[in-house]
Structure 1
Amino acid sequence: MTAPLILLTAGGTGGHLFPAEALANVLKAQGCRVALATDKRANAYAGSFPADEIVEIPSATPSGRSVPQMAKAALLLAQGTLKAATLVRGMKPDAVVGFGGYPTVPPVIAASLLKVPTVIHEANGVMGRANRLLARRATLIATGFADIKGIPAKVPGQVIQTGNPIRPAVLEAAKTPYPALSAGDPFRLLVTGGSQGARVMSDVVPPAIELLPEEIRSRLVITQQARGEDLERVRAHYQRLGVAFEAEPFFKDLPQRIADAHLVISRSGASTVAELAVIGRPSILVPLPGSLDQDQAANARTLADIGAAILCPQSDFTPERLANEIRSYCQQPERLTQAAAAAHSASITDAAERLAKAVLQLVPANHNGISP
C-alpha cells in the first residue's frame, strides 16, 4: 500500500502559504507524501516548504475592469486548468486541498473534474472570491472561524470549522510568556503590514512616534517591516528621533518577534490574527480598506470583540490616534497584559491536526488515486 499523496494548492502570499505549510508538516509527520501547486510569487516563501515537489501553475486574478483584461485572465485560468489536469492525471493525488487565491482555482477544478476528493480551506471571516467560485465543487469546506460570511447557499460538501493551521515556528514562539510591561521598562513595539508590507504603516507609525513625549519615546524598541521603497525614509525618521529600531522588508523569524513584543501594530490577515491569538499578544489592527469582501475587518473583529485588540479603520489610523493609543497603554500597562490573555483565549493550536484528520478521512483506502 502506497503512502497517500496530498496535493496542496495556494496563492503565492504568506497568508495562503503559511497555513498550507502547517498542514504539510502534519501530513508529512503522518507518513503522507505532499506536493504543492502555486504561482511564481511563492518563491519568497516556498524554499522551506515541506513538499516533495513544487509546481508552478499559470493563473490570474480576474479583477480588471476592461474586457481585454478579463479575457486575458480567463485565458490564463483556462491554461492553468489544462496544465493542472495534466498534473493531477500524472500525480494521481488522493486529495487536493486549496487554501485560497486564484492560483488554487485551476488545480481544484481539475481535481473535481477528475473525481479526486477536494477540500478548500477558508481562513478569513468572509469567504474569498476564489473559494466562492470553488465552493460548489468542494467535497469539504474547512473554515478558520466559527461563523464566516459568504459561503454559497446549499453547497453540496460538508462545512466544518478546523481553525487556521499554524506553522511550527508560531507554536514554538507561543511558548514565550507575555513580557508584562512595568514602569520604566523598554516597550517593544512590532509593526508589520503582512507578508507584502503596507505603506500606511510607514506613513503613520514614525510620525506617531514623533508625537510621543520623550519619556515614552526613549523607552521604545521598534521593529518595523517596511516595503523596500519605504525602507530608507522609515530608517531616516527613526534615526532622526534617536529611537532604538530595526527596519527590514521581511523578517524570517517574525513569529518570535511577535512573541517578544509588548504590542503589535498590523494588518489583520487571517494568518496574522491566528498567530496573534496562539502567541497571545495585544494588537492594534488596521484592516486593509477597499476590499470587496471586507474580510480583514471581519478577522479583526474576532479579537476586538473579546478585548484582545483595538480595531482601527485605516481612515482613523492617524499619527495622532496612534500616539494616543500608545500613550494610554504606557500609562495603563495592565491593559496590555489583559489583552494578551484575551488573545490567547481565542487560540486554536491544533487546527493543522484537525484539518489533516478531515482530509485523510476522504482518502480512498487503497491510496491509488485516480485512473489515468
Structure 2
Amino acid sequence: MNDTAPLILLAAGGTGGHLFPAEALGVELIKRGFRVRLVTDARALHYSGLFTKDMIDVVPSETVRGRSPIALARTAVMLGAGTIAAFNLIRRLKPAAVVGFGGYPTVPPLVAARLAGVPGIIHDANAVLGRANRFLSSRVKAIATSLPGVLDRDPALAGKATTVGTPMRPAILEAAAVPYAPPASSGPFRLLVTGGSQGARVMSDVVPGAIERLEPALWGRLVLTQQVRQEDMARVRAVYDRLKINAELAPFFTDLPARLAANHLVISRSGAGTVAELAAIGRPSILVPLPGAIDQDQFANAGVLSQVNGAIRIVQGDFTPARLASEISALAAEPARLAAMSEAARAVGRLDAAERLADLVVKTAGI
C-alpha cells in the first residue's frame, strides 16, 4: 500500500451491525488505492476481518446507560477524554475524511474531525436515525442513509443526505449470488434462528416450544440451525434431543452469511445489518423487533421487509410458541409463498452500496 495515498478514518462501534458496513467500505476504498484505519472502542479488538490490530486505533468512549446525573457525568467525561485522544490522533494521521457508522464510539472521532477541520461523513443503516448519529448530524458535511426518506421530516438535514444502502462485506455478496430454492413438499425444511451479534434469550424461550407444537411429520423434515447463548444451551438442546430434531446449536456462527443463503426461512431480531443482509441475499424471514428501544428502530427496520411481504413482523408480546408454530407450519406448507417472499426481500436489497458510499466519501473529501 502506498504510504502517501490519502487516508480515510472509519469510526464504528464494536458490534457487527456497525463494524461490517465499515469493513465493506474499507474493502472498496482499498480497491481504489486509499489507505484506511478503524477508530473504535476496545470491543473491536476481538473482531477478525479486514482490520488487523495494526490498523485499529482505540479511543475512549461510553454509551449513555442511564439518566442519573452520575451516569450522564461519566458518559460526558469519557466522551470528552475520547474527543481529546481522537483530536490528537487526527492531527498525527492527517486523514482526508472521517466516516462514522453509528454508536457512541463514533462521537469522539467525528467531533474531533469537526474541530480539526477534517470533513466528516456519517452512515446510518436504520430506518430511524440513531441517537449518536442524530447528535452528529449537524456537525458533519454529509449523511449517508441505507433507506430513502429517513430525513424527509428534517429539511435542514435532508439537504445533505444521500441514500446509498448498507455496504455489504464480501461474504454477503458471495451469499447473494446463491439463488433461493424453495423446499420440496416432502424434502428438508431448513430453518435458521439467530438473535443478532449479541444473541437473544427470547429465541431460546420461544422457539423450542414452537418446534414442539409442529406436526410430527415436520419434525422429520426439519434441519434447524440456532444461535443459542451458552447459559441457555442445555435446556434448548434437551427439547430438540427429545423430539429427535436435526439441530445444530452454537453461541455464534462465524459463517453466518453462507448460512443465511443455505436456509429456507430465517427467524431473527431486526437489527439494521440483519435486515439489509436478508434483503441483499433475498431470504424469507420472521422478524421479532427488540422491544423497548427509545426510537423503535428495529420495529421500523422490520417494516421495510414486512411492508413488501418479504418478511413477517411479530412484536415480542405476540411472539409466542403457538403463534410461531402456526407461522412456521403455514410457510412450510407453501413453498410458492416462500419463493415470493424471497423475491420481495431481494427487490429491496442493494448490492452496490459500498461503491455508492465510497463515491460520496471521495466527493465530500474532495480527493
Give the TM-score normalised by structure 1: 0.95
Structure-to-structure mapping, 1:175-186, within 5 angstroms: 175-186=177-188
Structure-to-structure mapping, 1:158-307, within 5 angstroms: 158-307=160-309
Q: Deviations over 1:98-152 (max 9, x none)?
A: 0000000000000011110000001000000000100001100000001215975
Structure 2 residue runs of 5 or longer lacking an equivalent are none
2:8–2:37 contact (8 Å) kept in structure 1? yes
Q: Deviations over 1:258-291 (max 9, x none)?
A: 0000000001111111110111100000011000
| Relative contact order, higher structure (CA 8 A, sep 6+) | 1
Kindly tell me: are residues 220 and 4 of structure 1, through their superposed partners in 2, closer, same or farther at Cα, counting changes over 3 Å? same
Residue identity opposite 2:88 in structure 1 = T
1:10–1:99 contact (8 Å) kept in structure 2? yes
1:370 match = none
Q: Does the alignment pair 1:33 with 2:35? A: yes
In structure 2, the residue corresponding to 1:142 is in which secondary structure?
strand
1:34–1:51 contact (8 Å) kept in structure 2? no
In structure 1, the residue corresponding to 2:74 is in which secondary structure?
helix
In the aligned structure 2, how far is the partner of 1:150 from the partner of 1:265? 31
In structure 2, the residue corresponding to 1:6 is in which secondary structure?
strand
Q: Does the alignment pair 1:124 with 2:151? A: no
Residue identity opposite 1:91 in structure 2 = L
Q: Once the 2 structures are TM-superposed, how far is the Cα of residue 171 of structure 1 from its aligned partner?
A: 0.4
Kindly tell me: are residues 71 and 150 of structure 1, through their superposed partners in 2, closer, same or farther at Cα, counting changes over 3 Å? farther
1:69 match = 71
Q: Deviations over 1:20-48 (max 9, x none)?
A: 01000000111110000111122332454
1:369 match = none
Q: Once the 2 structures are TM-superposed, how far is the Cα of residue 197 of structure 1 from its aligned partner?
A: 0.7
1:127–1:151 contact (8 Å) kept in structure 2? no
In structure 1, the residue corresponding to 2:226 is in which secondary structure?
strand
Residue identity opposite 1:341 in structure 2 = E
In the aligned structure 1, how far is the partner of 2:258 from the partner of 2:159? 37
How many pairs were matched up?
Answer: 365
Q: Does the alignment pair 1:347 with 2:349? A: yes
In the aligned structure 1, how far is the partner of 2:366 from the partner of 2:291? 43
Residue identity opposite 2:30 in structure 1 = K
Structure 1 residue runs of 5 or longer lacking an equivalent are 366-372
In the aligned structure 1, how far is the partner of 2:49 from the partner of 2:28? 18
- RMSD of aligned Cα (Å): 1.6
In the aligned structure 2, how far is the partner of 1:156 from the partner of 1:115? 22
Moved over 3 A (4+): 149-153
Q: Once the 2 structures are TM-superposed, how far is the Cα of residue 58 of structure 1 from its aligned partner?
A: 0.8
1:105 match = 107
Q: Once the 2 structures are TM-superposed, how far is the Cα of residue 50 of structure 1 from its aligned partner?
A: 6.4
